[in-house]
Chains A and B, each alone.
Chain A
Amino acid sequence: MSRQLPRVKRVAFTVNGQARSIEVAGRRTLAEALRYDLGLTGTKVGCNRAECGSCTVVLDGRAVFACTVLAVEASGRDVRTVEGLAGPEGLHPLQEAFIEHDAVQCGICIPGILMSLTALLDATASPSEDDVRQAVAGNLCRCGTYPNTVKATLAAAEQLRARRAGATP
């Protein structure tokens, strides 16, 4: 019994602002495509069935579990991963706040948590503590950094608001 080779598809999409084009098997997940075809190993896979959240990326502004999105579904769409968070001006306020508030221990869940929160902060300028908890409810952290995650996110939101206010003439 030998199984047929999977059919190969071309996927053209934007990853962290750059146009990328790859050939993938039809059943390749977005997480696998990011990690193995594009070398973006910041996105982690902890369960491969949408239970732990460590593979979370932002797809067209929404946080999704990249282990349960097929790469072909991302065709023509915009993907953001942890590697795209920092810009030329430095770290994203979330990253700075996670360091300052020690919301990082072993770190394996952190890329997924940061991407869940990026989606939150892009949509909500002034999230409540409950908003933050809900945004990462699908991201398991066995080190138990949740209290510091909340603190860090509220601080980052404030920082972002201050930045936006400063940028407005």
Chain B
Amino acid sequence: MKPPAGRLLVEGEPPPALERDLAVIGRSVNRRDALEKVTGQAEYSSDIALPGMLHAKILRCPHAHARIRRIDTSRAEALPGVRAVIGPDNMAGWHTYWYMIAQPAFPTEIAYAGQEVAAVAAESVDIALEALRLIEVEYEILPAALTPRDAMKPNAPLVPILDVERPREGNVQQPVYVRERGDLERGVADADVVSVSRFNLPTQYHVDIQTRCCVASWDGDRLTIHEASQGVWNVKRELAKSLGLSEEQVRVVVKHMGGGFGSKAGAQRVVHYAARLSMLAGRPVRLELTRPEEFLSHPRRYAAEVTMRLGARHDGTLTAIDADIVLDIGSGSLYAGRYALTLHQISELYQCANVRVRIRAVYTNTGPTGPQRGVLDPIATFCTESAMDDLAGLLGLDPLVLREKNHAERFQGFDAGTASLPYSSKRLDQCLATVAEVIGWAERDEKRDAARRGCLRRGIGLAAYCLERGGYAPFSAKADVVARPDGTVELLAGIVEIGGGQTTILPMIVAEELGVLPERIRIHHGDTDGTHYAPSSHASRITSEMGPAVLQAASLVRQRLFELVAPRLEVSPHDLVAGGGRIHVRGAETRGVTFDEACALIEGDEFRATGSRAPNPDDVIFRGFGAHAVEVEVDVETGEVRVLRVVSSHDIGRAINPKLVESQQLGGAVMGLGYGLYEEAELDRKTGMLLNADVHQYRVPTSLETPTIEARNVEGEDAFYPYSAKPVGEAPLVGVMPAVRNAVRHALGFGINELPLTAARVLEAISSRRGADAR
């Protein structure tokens, strides 16, 4: 495989071509961090113990909406072994930051059950817990709005929001987004058939298996943070701002972390509290959340209520797309305001001239919300793809044919400037064809009918998806590659290994550019000391944003080595090639030096090159595409849905490491099955308390529910990405839920529009359907 001629997004000169076949990229190299992890040597933040370390605990409010009338921490402060207590009285006006969004650290009006009221650092966990019991709080309990419906009522209680700087009207975040293209009503009038579907999507919790844990250590001048975050640089900046320190005074270290999935993209509450307590006590402080606290306090996925209207002609041509979306953003949406706009993919998956999307984000007296694997793309995709199957049903068309009929070759924006821009690459049609072929789409009705036995029904469904991925502002990803005279090569990258293989992929890029084995490349990562700013390992960003910077830095090192070697070989640097651990004259492999010999020519201690990612161009649209197909078995007597098979096809460009890509696809599918079938929060409608804040009753998939998952990706060039490697971290979740829903629809003959499709919900839908038929 030859590397594609590039439009790689880097600052300055584009890296010169390698002029040889790729030797490292495209190989299924085993992940670098696996050895530490299988031997128990990998150190997570919860494994770190520092001399003199204190232990912290947080007092949480049991009410969904309350005012703190009085708080008295004096008895806690007097308890022997207590070293610091913080709360609304001594921390008035203090703000924590997440994505640089300010939140009051200890507000006097509580927004949700489980919100922080005070925190204590003590010599032991037992003493800290005892101190919490000694804190006296008098609450004025206020009426709470627990659902968007309640929160939008005229006299609804006003939620005291966490993202305090966001504009709002009542409990509705501003602005309300209304985006239009063409003339919706005309599109509806032009339609021969109009389908209307209403969908309810639940919130989803991340359930990282490592609960949040921070060890903060203040030495009087500098703060060192060991923690489980997806982005050390995000944490550094947010913490410096929160604590009034310079950025140089904050060092953040994350060598391993036990699951993120978006929940740890910025500085978490525990980090702020641990840091503040350490600064007050002058000792290291460890703050670890319990499993129930994880559920109560950390930003989870948005819940949504969506009404979709699709209009089409008899032949299936879409004439209108109308989506009205109400997002439950809890007591705060901890992400940038434009976030809700990713829901625009409702307008993008299919060619359609007349579109209207309205998005209302509504505050409620429940825990905060934020990004989770795929963020809002699963919502946009679920509604679009479920509605497409409903429309196909009304039209009497094959759902796959309806999709193919409305394939969108180019991006369709809402504004004049983006009305019809090209994608950097799009192979969605091939992904759909692939999953249809593998799942046996053409014979799906015959398969369904043949498999009907007793109370068991079979069904096959599919869904396409589109994600806004491939780089985000501020596009300031930078990386260093250092070569030393002793032959060592080190990559310095301020990224975090979250389990996606980031520390395996990036050294592979360096190795490829230098023509050496990947094992040879050292990496310094997960540390703000010794690295430049790097994006957090979220939003599938690392390969597409850090990849170009790393590639450029390595390429600059190669160019420097060529300059050093060329005079020895009496050729021009342009005549040299790096490969097979050697630098040699093109076409004459014996005329050259070993990589070690080349490095020995470096003057001084090292040669260091910096690579830098350039912003995305304005005239090209970057998206991830793919499709899922699913086969299910439904028991119509118990309502149980069993997924038998998942086929996942993603438009990946080229895989840098196919084995790691496949792992992302397995993991994304498993998490998607949880979202679609099992995971459901039970909120007490009276108190607003989460009733199943544990992993026994909040059911995430286990080995027993996990079906056969097949990854059949579509490959091809995309010159904007390093070696054409498109983002892959989140996409494998996105199409799973609608594919499951559509498969159940195929099995039962009608769609169920509320997730998760638990046995109880499916059974209820079957019963009410029977009741309706009987009438």
Contacts and interface: CB of A to CB of B under 8 A. Distances in A.
A49 B291 contact: yes
Interface stretch (A69-77, A94-102, A160-168): A94-102
A99 B38 contact: yes
B685 to A, nearest CB: 25
Interface in B278-316: 290-291
A10 B40 CA distance: 26
Given A46-B211, A47-B291, A48-B290, A40 B30 contact: no
A122 to B, nearest CB: 17
Interface stretch (B105-113, B384-392, B550-558, B692-700): B692-700
A134 interface: yes
A3 interface: yes
B709 interface: yes
Contact of A108 (B39, B210, B501, B704): B210
Interface string A116-152: 0000000000000000111011111111111111100
Contacts of B667: 105, 143-145
B90 interface: no
Interface range on chain B (Cβ under 8 Å from partner): 35 or more
Given A99-B30, A147-B666, A42 B39 contact: yes
B521 to A, nearest CB: 18
Given A105-B663, A144-B670, A83 B704 contact: no
A110 interface: yes
- Interface core residue of B34, B257, B704 (most chain A CB under 10 Å): B34
Given A52-B695, A144-B671, A102 B660 contact: yes
B209 A104 contact: no
B695 A104 contact: no
Interface in A69-93: 81-83, 85-86, 91
B208 interface: yes
Interface string B703-742: 1101011000000000000000000000000000000000
Nearest to B500: A105
A140 B663 contact: no
Contacts of A148: 663, 666
A106 B38 contact: no
Contacts of A40: 40
B590 interface: no
Given A46-B291, A142-B259, A85 B39 contact: yes
A109 interface: yes
Question: Chain A's interface: helix, strand, loop or mixed, by majority?
Answer: loop
Nearest to B49: A36
Interface in A1-24: 1-3
Contacts of B133: 1
Nearest to B33: A107
B704 A98 contact: no
B40 A46 contact: no
Contact of B291 (A42, A51, A82): A51
A54 B662 CA distance: 24
Contacts of B155: none
Contact of A149 (B257, B259, B291, B703): B703
Interface residues of A, number: 57
A142 B206 contact: yes
A40 to B, nearest CB: 7
Given A42-B40, A148-B666, A142 B703 contact: no
A114 interface: yes
A133 B669 contact: no
Interface string A15-41: 000000000000000000001100011
- Interface core residue of B31, B36, B49, B666 (most chain A CB under 10 Å): B666
B30 A102 contact: yes
Given A82-B40, A108-B258, A114-B38, A141 B209 contact: yes
Contacts of B39: 42, 82-83, 85-86, 91, 95
Interface in B49-83: 49
B37 A142 contact: no
A43 interface: yes
Contacts of B702: 136-140, 146
Contact of A98 (B34, B206, B257, B501): B34
A67 B442 CA distance: 51
Contacts of A54: 209
Contacts of A100: 30
B120 to A, nearest CB: 16
B509 to A, nearest CB: 19
B659 interface: yes
Interface string B192-215: 000000000000001111110000
A47 B694 contact: yes
Nearest to B291: A47
Contact of B46 (A44, A51, A134, A139): A44
B44 interface: yes
A108 B497 CA distance: 13
10 contacts: A44-B209, A98-B34, A99-B34, A100-B30, A104-B38, A107-B36, A107-B38, A142-B700, A149-B703, A150-B703
Interface of B: 30-31, 33-44, 46-47, 49, 126, 130, 133, 206-211, 256-261, 290-291, 498-501, 659-660, 662-663, 666-671, 694-696, 700-704, 706, 708-709
Given A85-B38, A104-B33, A132-B703, 16 more contacts: A40-B40, A41-B43, A42-B41, A49-B696, A81-B40, A82-B40, A95-B39, A99-B30, A104-B31, A107-B34, A111-B40, A133-B706, A140-B207, A140-B700, A143-B663, A146-B666
